[in-house]
Amino acid sequence: MKFTRMEISDVIVIEPKIHKDERGYFIETFRVDKLESFLGYKIDFCQDNESKSSKGVLRGLHYQLPPFAQTKLVRVVVGRVLDIAVDIRKGSPTFGKHVAVELSGENRKQLLVPRGFAHAFVVLEDNTIFAYKVDSYYSPEYDRGISYADKELAISWPLPSEELKLSTRDTSQPKLHETDEIFEYGVDHYA
């Protein structure tokens, strides 16, 4: 596996080695020993999630507050998405900045979105299957979001707004500057 830090260095792109032959392919999609060695801290994924979406579906920007803050390890099994991670750690030099990476069933890239970041993806192909691991269970009481349309985040969504399909919840999220329910920079959110 190849691990690459993005422009916001806490967000990691993981590229598994793909073994192909006439029968098809084989990949290791997760190795905790290699991931923890690269990160320098332990991670305990406890829940796997999967969604299937049509083109234009936008899910996010989501996060959970402590004590149920989540690290997400996301990937696409079939199809294609643009995946986004936004730094929502107040005081961070990259606060409000984001990184974007295309994940697809073809490129097999994965993205590690650490605690302290909001996460979203927009689906670029019909019948896309998106899978991810989290290191804390889903908790509706601690579940929060930021508006995908917050202009201060400067996210360039690859589809026109009239083609986006969002849940009612995701159309009514606050802008980043409208909420105090975010993370503090410099705090060890894994302690």
Smallest Cα–Cα separation from 144: which of 92, 90, 89, 181?
181
38 is written with which tokens?
A: 């690269």
Q: What is the spatial distance between Cα 143 and Cα 38, in angstroms, rounded to a whole number?
A: 28
Looking at 41, 62, 148, 185, which residue is catalytic? 62
Smallest Cα–Cα separation from 119: which of 94, 142, 95, 146?
146
Beta strands in 28-67 (DSSP E): 47-53, 58-64
Beta-bridge partners for 57: 165
Count of H helices and E strands in the chain?
2, 15
Smallest Cα–Cα separation from 108: which of 21, 18, 19, 24?
18
53 is written with which tokens?
A: 């979406």
62 catalytic residue (yes or no):
yes
Phi, psi (rounded to 5 degrees) for 147: -65, 130
Looking at 63, 98, 119, 132, which residue is catalytic? 132
138 catalytic residue (yes or no):
no
The alpha carbon of residue 175 and the mean position of all alpha carbons in its chain are separated, in whole angstroms, by: 18
User: Active-site positions?
Assistant: 62, 132
